[in-house]
Structure 1
Amino acid sequence: MHFKELMKSRYAVREYFENKVDRTLLKEVVNAGRLAPSAANRQPWQFVVVDDDVLLAKLKDSYQREWFGKVPNLIIIYGNHEESWKRPYDNKDHCDIDVAIAVDHMTLMATELGLGTCWVCHFDKDIINSVIENKKGFEPIAILTIGYPVDNTAPIKKRKNLDEVLSFNGL
């Protein structure tokens, strides 16, 4: 699939078939995140794939939406602010930016593989931390639900016109 088609095909999926995604495909998706660029190549991330039904049931309360409790697989993306690059002029932390780039790479790879995803950032990290043991210094930054979408038709996306968001040489 060409990149323009891939971008247009990706959308937030909130209804999946029950069947699990094969771990080989999940590894391909995570590998796309691993290959993403990061500031100063610090790669301040970790990825935890969850495909165990007991763990998924425990995690469903971290984001209380009916559809979230039915996802067949998810990926928790962790970031480490101690490992991430900080801009020296103002100490701007790039951890969340690096993680966002990795997640975007994973959503596009999943789309390429015929999978659907939904990027979730509004969740209770205490519930995540009580269910999944993580490394010292890492915090959950995003959850990527992943599976086979029930409806594989990308909706029409409402986007601002290019002239509303683009300027040259200043705002």
Structure 2
Amino acid sequence: MDFMKLASERFSVRDFSDRPIEKEKLDIIKEAARIAPTAKNNQPQVVYVLKSEEALKKVRENTRCAFNAPVVFAICIDEAKQWRQPFSGEFSGNIDGAIVATHMMLAAESVGLGSCFVCYFDPYKFKEAFELPEGITPVALLPVGYKSDLCQPAERHFLRNSIEDFVTEL
């Protein structure tokens, strides 16, 4: 599948089937996380694959946006490895985490799986529930699985600005 077709056909899945995900497909998604670009190639990403009943229960207690996915990836960053922008002083961790998650979402779509980028969770409660090490900060959750038979894109998925609305050539 070419990139533009892949990117345009992917949508946020909020209704998953209970069909198990093959290990090979999970491995492809993990590899996409590994090769994702990050600021200065510092690679601060730390990814947790949450698929046990206990882990999924903890996720569902922290967000309503797990959508009964059989697997939820928690994309975190190691604060000690994130790059600091020398002019603004801002850290790259959230951006790096979003880039990693985007690669994972597109990889999932490429192997026939759906996903949804989720920021609607309490990172402090999540960190506590999973006893994440000091300096490891959750950035996003990525529920992944096979789309249910009834799954459709949300109406707002099709609302797109024209290129002229957001691109300026100078």
Query: Considering the TM-score relative to the shorter chain, is it more than 0.5?
Result: yes
CA distance in 2, matches of 1:64, 1:149: 18
- Secondary structure of 1:120's counterpart equals coil
Query: What's 1:139 paired with?
Result: 137
The match for 2:126 is 128
* Alpha-carbon distance in structure 1 between the residues aligned to 2:116 and 2:110: 15
* Counterpart in the other structure of 1:6: 6
Q: Write the letter of the residue equivalent to 2:80.
A: E
Task: Give the Cα–Cα distance (whole angstroms) in 2 for the partners of residues 154 and 122 of structure 1.
Answer: 19
Task: Give aligned-pair identity as a percent.
Answer: 28
Name the SS for the 2:101 alignment partner: helix
Q: Is the 8 A contact 2:49 2:73 kept in 1?
A: yes
Which digits, 9 at most, give the CA deviation of each residue in 1:80-108, with x for residues without a partner?
23311111122121111111111000000
Partners of 1:36 and 1:29 in 2: CA distance:
11
How many angstroms does 1:27 deviate by?
A: 1.8
Unaligned runs of 5+ in 2: none
Question: Which residue pairs with 1:24 in the alignment?
Answer: 24
Where do residues 84-103 of structure 1 align in structure 2 (5 Å cutoff)? 84-103=82-101
2:67, 2:143 within 8 Å by CA — same for their partners in 1? Answer: no
Q: Corresponding residue for 1:160?
A: 161
- The 3 A distance-change label for structure 1 pair 118 and 69 is closer
Q: TM-score under structure 1 normalisation? A: 0.90
Structure 1, unaligned runs of 5 or more: none
TM-score, with normalisation over the residues of structure 2?
0.90
Q: Name the amino acid aligned to 1:134.
A: L
Q: CA RMSD in A?
A: 1.7
